[in-house]
Amino acid sequence: MLPAAKTAEFNEMLLHRSHSHRPHKIAETYADIGFDPEVDDYTSALLLNTLQDWHLFHANDFLADGTARSMVKNCCSISSALGTL
């Protein structure tokens, strides 16, 4: 178990992490989530990465009837992306 202070420090870093210094990352993420760089100006890495993960999850893993191809695989992918495994 991580010390509470380290967890709080990490969470605070995530809140303020930005892709503003990585324009190629913003372009890639905006394309995946359907944002328009002429209209949208979000740079929060937490927001953009979360939206990108969910958009890709829905695009790649959900079937037309709303069921997932493999919930075990999908949950592991999402948990890994979120760092919860």
Share of the chain above pLDDT 90, in %: 20
Say if CB 25 and CB 19 are below 8 A apart. yes
**Closest to 23 (Cα-Cα) out of 1, 10, 41:** 41
Count structural domains, the chain: 1
Tens-digit pLDDT profile for residues 29-65: 999 999 999 999 988 888 898 899 888 887 877 766 6
**Sign of the CA dihedral with 51 first, then 53, 55, and 57 last:** negative
State which residues form the domain around 82.
46-85
Say which amino acid occupies 48: L
* pLDDT score of 36: 95
* pTM of the full structure: 0.61
Place of tokens 């979000």: 42
- The 3-state DSSP composition of the chain as helix, strand, coil percent (nearest 5) reads 60, 5, 35
Residue 41 lies in a domain: no
Residue 23 lies in a domain: no
DSSP label of 69: S
Residue 84 lies in a domain: yes
